[in-house]
Structure 1
Amino acid sequence: MASGDGVLENEILPLVEFSVGDVKNKAKFNFEMYKSTDPSHGNKRKLVCETPHLNYVGSNFDYDPSREHLDRYLIIRDKTTGKKRIFRTEDFKLYPVVRREDEVDSETERLEAIERVKKDARTFSDKLDNLTVAFGSKNKKRAMESRLRNKISDTSQRIADSVKSHVETEGIRGGDSSETTHLSILPYNKDATSEEHVYPLENYIPPNVQEAVAEASEALLDIDEEKVQAWKDERNPLASRYVLLRARSMHPSVANDEDVKREYLACLQLMAYLMKFYLGNGRTDEKKRYVESISYTWKEWFRETFTPENKSVSLNRRNPPSVKARILAHAVVLAWHIESNQFDVEMLAEGFGVSRVTVSQVVKALGGTVKNSVTAGVQRCYGLLQLPLTFPKESRGKRR
């Protein structure tokens, strides 16, 4: 430290944040701190605040995403000596206790609300858009719909077209490198030092969405021919070669670890869902049953990620190219996580009902490479993710 070095004190001070309202200057509140007498609860404490208008309650163990990433300190500086005292802090976010006449336990409701927030994958902007859908004027709704359409098409459609053009003309040199720009379908971590951190799965498919499909993925345990035939009859992508082969031939490091196996099967189920919604195939009654069987959390994530202009999800075979491009991009990222950054392009393409070239385009647009190999006389095509990334380039001018 520079002059006036601080001293870290042993005392831990409470740091209070009110979820609603502002504290006015010179306002005086009464605070009470309560600690559990159960030794198994550790240092769990609750803070109660009484104000002239509302009472507030909070704890140092409530759900707060910032606790997972930040350690907060409070520095008190003596103006006379310049010396600083540094205190560790405990965060208490205080929520108002609303008294009701129907005797419902407001504390229980508050905890339930916090739990819903933990499972909510929406961003702040998403929530504002939901409010606009419910209460906004016609003009605001039209403006929101236009913005969301542009958000999807600006990236996905432009890149899908340009990458297709690049692949079809591969081997033909474009303009000088100063006249080209890198293309990428999805945002990626430019500072990643390992392939696992280039496209962190939780950035594209939130953990609560992955967890929401875990129960459905248990169908991939103990697969027999009768079950596979039923899936085929129902046009369920769990019967695809890509999903079946990986469910039946798990590596021992996956099969022998229950937690890892649960995550692995959930990823295969996620892939099957993406295949189904990409294809949109089946009879009307089959599609209805399929959609009804899916977790609400997953369906809301899919709608907000791919079709935010819709009020609900459906198996629509007429999804625009921009939506299909984004689905395939998420599928490639998911495949890299399932198979340690290398997957069989042809097998994945078969599951989505597209050509090998189409999947190869997406791999290249994500900075990956496509390589062919021959094993026992059989040619295989693999989509690889490896550093440094190599992106296709779009020429800003045509060669004459």
Structure 2
Amino acid sequence: MTTTMASSCSLVCCREENDSDKAVIVQFSNGSVKNADKLDFTMYKNTDERNPRKKNRRILVAESDRLSYVGSNFGVGSLKCNNLCKYYVGVLNKQTMQMEVHSAQLFNMQPVVPGETTEPAKPQDTTQTYRDKVDSLIEAFGTNKQKRALSSRRLNQVGSDTLHQAVAKAANAVIGQKGLEALQQEVAETESQAELALHLPPCNTDADRPEDVYLFDNLLSPVEYGALEQAGSKMAELTSEELQKMKDDGGCLCVVKLLENMPSAAEARDKTSRGAFYLSLLLKMTRQKGITRKFGQEEGCPRIVQSKLLRTFTVETFNNGRVHNMVSSSMRAKLAAYSLALLLHMGHMSADLTLLHRDLGITEARMIEVAKSMGLTLNKLPRGKADKAEPQDEHRQASLVLPLVKYDQFMERRKRRKMH
């Protein structure tokens, strides 16, 4: 039968389908329907068509003489397979023997039993809390054991209030001694450190080798690394004149330095060229507030790497009916941490913080804060002989040395805006 069908019919390419053209496949949670012709199906769609998260929401209702069924493609009762797979349905025209293939979505139909839905609760008297009402019932109708427990809890509440008063008095004394502004500054620095720690690369503090602390595979997976073969080879083929032009045009100095000092070994050279291309994309992202879906296409960025960048280093915002990918201040700190970890792997576990913070467009203090949160060892190196024209310019260098350094987060305080 399959052979006959394949030899006697042909597939027809359909036009571009809208959401209304999609076929619907339903399954009933409580069994199978014998007489589908007796069911009356109705499809409802969300009225907010400008919202990209709501415009595809659909509710399907099937009504029969005995029972009604409801299914939706969103919410708790929806099928998650719609987000993971694409389904297609072939419709055969028996007269022309041509088959049209349409995209489809699945609905799980659940019965709606009359009487199970509860009416909305009437507004309660808000003068008393739920706990106060329960305590009143215990006082009036409770057992002796419940009344003793209520009395004990109220005594504990009095003790708790006394403790809160003592803590408030002690806090006022500390504020009077240290000053409100100093305390607000400490709180701001603590929150900044906690926020920064959330955006660091995965760290293995028990590693025996510096290379295993921030694994290269966590920065760039093997699949993503393999996809950068063509882009990395183009970076490795850049001539000295082209690299000098990158410098003159204000290009990323970290990337230029890596390409100027390419290792001779084939494997190390390949790793440096691919890493330099990926680093150039990270540095480019920090200079932009909004990232479009065309980011990196001119440079030849593979789609899998582009998806990783959007997923890892941007936040989604909703504006004018569309979803935008934005690079927030916290994402810039995350980009700085990942760029620094990538430079460590390509620079024998050391990196020039001065060049990096200039390429990232952040302050040197912020760059040092990121390096300290990663447990790196910091030192200053004078410029080489080639830069004797600027002897006062000293470059800060970060190195990954085991064991990692634990810095005091209040060691170097810097001025912040007052908290209100």
Q: Which has the higher contact order (CA 8 A, sep 6+)?
A: 1
Q: TM-score, normalised by structure 1?
A: 0.47
Q: TM-score, normalised by structure 2?
A: 0.45
Larger radius of gyration: 2
